Amino acid sequence: MDLRSAMLDDGETIGYLKKMANSLRDEMMQHQNWVFDGNFKNFENPPLLQFFLTHLLFGRHVHKVSGMRNDEIDKTVHAACQFLTQNTRSEASVKEE
């Protein structure tokens, strides 16, 4: 049995991932009212999404990094948050396709 099959058989893990995904999606949907006005100065990343992506992409010790590496982490996470938030679709728009 491969790792993916083993994880899919673990109902508790899948349940936890679904709950987390729903929480992140709800937070992103609340940011759908933001409108691009020529820059991203008024765009604030959804806090839970930013926390999740930071730890997903860079690990739990990321807060111990400083200087240039920290700036690169911030840029990467910010870009990922923008992309995910802008491309999140409502249930209605998904059903229309």
| Structural domain count, the chain | 1
Residue among 51, 47, 55, 52 at smallest CA distance from 31 = 47
Distances from the Cα of 7 to the Cα of 10, 15, 17, 53, 92, angstroms: 5, 11, 11, 21, 30
Domain that holds residue 67: 3-96
Question: pTM, whole model, 2 decimals?
Answer: 0.67
Would you give per-residue pLDDT tens digits along the chain (97 residues)? 455 666 666 678 888 888 999 999 998 888 766 666 777 677 778 899 999 999 898 887 776 666 667 888 889 998 998 888 888 876 655 555 5
